[in-house]
Amino acid sequence: MARLWKKPENLSSWRKISVGMWKRPADPTIYGYETVDVEDLVAFLDEVSEACGEKVTMTAYMSKIISDIMTEYPKLNSIVVGNQVLQRESIDAFCQVAVANDSGGSADLSGTKLRNSDTMTLPEIAAKLHRRADRIRKGQDEEIEQTKSMLDKIPPLLLPKLMRVVDLLTYVVPFDLGKIGIRDDPFGSFMVTNCAPFDIRMGFAPLVPFARTPIVVLIGIVEDHVFVENGEPVVKKGSQMSFTADHRCFDGLQIGQLVRNIRARLEDPYRYYPDPSSYAPDADPSIDEEPGPDAPPPEASSSSKPVGS
């Protein structure tokens, strides 16, 4: 059989070192990002917040729309267990929360899981996030404090091995570890993290192996961007958002469904969700109805194209 390759001439020292440092690629991570027109969304969230009396953030809205998309496309709600891609029984959002560290000058990254987030309204998601985040930041969340206390007692050398055992017992066996303070599937269907409070325009979040969550969405700061509308440049509010996905769970078809639907709901919230006035506590329940056939499919929605962003 003929050789299909040969030894190159003058191989650099760096190439020799790099081959020794890295193994063959074995990472299924897919990254993507987009600059999204959020001019209407900013106004929509302000109106909803005023109507319901609860500050509705981009994180809450992103949690809502991904939950709704997973309801429409159930196969997106996946998890890898062993060598199988399985479908979760419930849709649960996980939103990350930055918590000040007692040592000062740094912060811990924690989070809160919203069980059955697909059944919640936008104000309900916002309210639950605010209450849970406030408890976490004040050190009043029993689950988080119990976990932190347990971690403080484990020697760093044993922690990686213990985490692998917990992962095995939680997902593969599975075994209820609630009595020792370890929640069942603590991270859920997808993660949402917002780096805008840190004045970060855009970033890429990693997939957390222990979480077994195949989708992570990261929201950047909202600022002026140049978009093209009808061939003309227009300055509007925009946000650079990224997603990280597990290729074992999704291919281009599923990722396309996810991205198109997220984009459509970010750019035109008024067509996909009830009028903001319907979220008022004393609003007529008959008003609070999801838009009907008038809401266009994501493929048909018009989107502004960013320029140089």
Q: Identify which of 86, 40, 306 has the alpha carbon closest to the alpha carbon of residue 185.
A: 86
On whether residue 4 sits in a domain, the answer given is no
Q: d(Cα 5, Cα 234) in Å, to the nearest integer?
A: 52
- Cβ atoms of 215 and 66 within 8 Å: the answer is yes
Select, from the ranges 7-11, 125-129, 205-209, the one with the highest average predicted confidence (pLDDT): 125-129
On whether residue 12 sits in a domain, the answer given is no
Beta strands in the chain, from DSSP E residues, in sequence order: 29-37, 78-81, 84-87, 93-100, 107-114, 190-194, 215-229, 232-246, 305-306
Residue 292: predicted pLDDT: 44
Which comes out higher in pLDDT, residue 106 or 200? 200
Query: Taking residues 5-28, what's their average pLDDT?
Result: 74
Which range among 62-66, 151-155, 190-194 shows the weakest confidence by mean pLDDT?
151-155
On whether residue 279 sits in a domain, the answer given is yes
On whether residue 287 sits in a domain, the answer given is yes
Mention every residue, 6+ apart, whose C-beta is less than 8 A from residue 126. 49, 52, 54, 55, 56, 57, 60
Residue 82: predicted pLDDT: 81
Which comes out higher in pLDDT, residue 74 or 173? 74
On whether residue 11 sits in a domain, the answer given is no
Mean pLDDT, all residues of the chain:
82
On whether residue 23 sits in a domain, the answer given is no
What is the number of domains present in the chain?
1
Q: d(Cα 74, Cα 67) in Å, to the nearest integer?
A: 10
Which comes out higher in pLDDT, residue 292 or 161? 161
On whether residue 16 sits in a domain, the answer given is no
Select, from the ranges 50-64, 136-150, 184-198, the one with the highest average predicted confidence (pLDDT): 50-64
- pLDDT tens-place string over residues 210-246: 788 999 999 999 999 999 999 999 999 999 999 999 9
Domain harbouring 202, CATH code? 3.30.559.10
pLDDT at 19 over 80: no
On whether residue 19 sits in a domain, the answer given is no
Residue 29: predicted pLDDT: 93
Query: Would the CA dihedral through 125, 131, 137, 143 be positive or negative?
Result: negative
Q: Which domain holds residue 101?
A: 29-306
